[in-house]
Structure 1
Amino acid sequence: MIEYIRGMIEDIGQNYVIIDFMGIGIKVFVPFSTLKALPTKGNITKLYTYLHVREDGFQIFGFKTKEELDLFEKLLSVNGVGPKGALSILSVVPIDNFAKVVNTGDYKALTLVPGIGKKTAERIILELKDKLPKEIVFESDNNLSNEALEALLALGYSKSEAISALADITCNSVEETVKQALKKLMK
Structure 2
Amino acid sequence: MIGWIKGKVVRRNPASGVIIVEAQGVGWELQVSLQTLAGVPIEGQVVELWIHTNVREDAIQLFGFADEREKQLFRMLTSVPKVGPRNAVAVLGGLPVLELVECIAAGESAKLVKIPGIGKKTAEQIVLTLGDKALTLLEFMRSSGDAAPASAAPASADASDELATAARDVLLSLGWKAKPVEKALAQVLEELGDKAKGTSLDALVRPTLARLMER
**Fold conserved between structures, TM > 0.5:** yes
Partner of residue 76, structure 1: 78
Partner of residue 99, structure 2: 97
- Partner amino acid for 1:8? K
Q: How far is the alpha carbon of 1:74 from its aligned partner?
A: 0.5
Q: Per the alignment, in what secondary structure is the counterpart of residue 28 of structure 1?
A: strand
Is residue 78–residue 124 contact of structure 1 (8 Å, CA) maintained in 2? yes
Partner of residue 27, structure 1: 29
CA distance in 1, matches of 2:120, 2:113: 6
- Partner amino acid for 1:100? E
Is residue 102–residue 134 contact of structure 2 (8 Å, CA) maintained in 1? no
Is residue 35–residue 95 contact of structure 2 (8 Å, CA) maintained in 1? no
RMSD of the TM alignment (CA)?
A: 1.9
Partner of residue 165, structure 1: none
Is residue 74–residue 89 contact of structure 2 (8 Å, CA) maintained in 1? yes
Identity of aligned residues (%): 34
Partner of residue 10, structure 1: 10
Is residue 93–residue 109 contact of structure 1 (8 Å, CA) maintained in 2? no
Greater Cα offset, 111-120 or 53-62: 111-120
Q: How far is the alpha carbon of 1:159 from its aligned partner?
A: 4.3
Deviations 1:40-87 (A, max 9, x none): 110111110000111111110000110100100100110110000000
CA distance in 2, matches of 1:8, 1:119: 40
Poorly superposed stretches of 4+, deviation over 4 Å? none
CA separation of 1:159 and 1:35: change in aligned 2, threshold 3 A: closer
Structure ID, larger Rg: 1
Deviations 1:134-160 (A, max 9, x none): 657xxxxxxxxxxxx6xx64xxx6449
CA distance in 2, matches of 1:37, 1:115: 23
User: Where does the alignment leave 5 or more consecutive residues of structure 2 unmatched?
Assistant: 149-215
Task: Give me the TM-score of the superposition, normalised by structure 2.
Answer: 0.62
Q: How many positions carry a matched residue from both structures?
A: 143
Q: How far is the alpha carbon of 1:8 from its aligned partner?
A: 0.6
CA distance in 1, matches of 2:89, 2:75: 10
User: Where does the alignment leave 5 or more consecutive residues of structure 1 unmatched?
Assistant: 137-148, 161-187
- Partner amino acid for 2:134? L
2:83 aligned with 1:86, yes or no? no
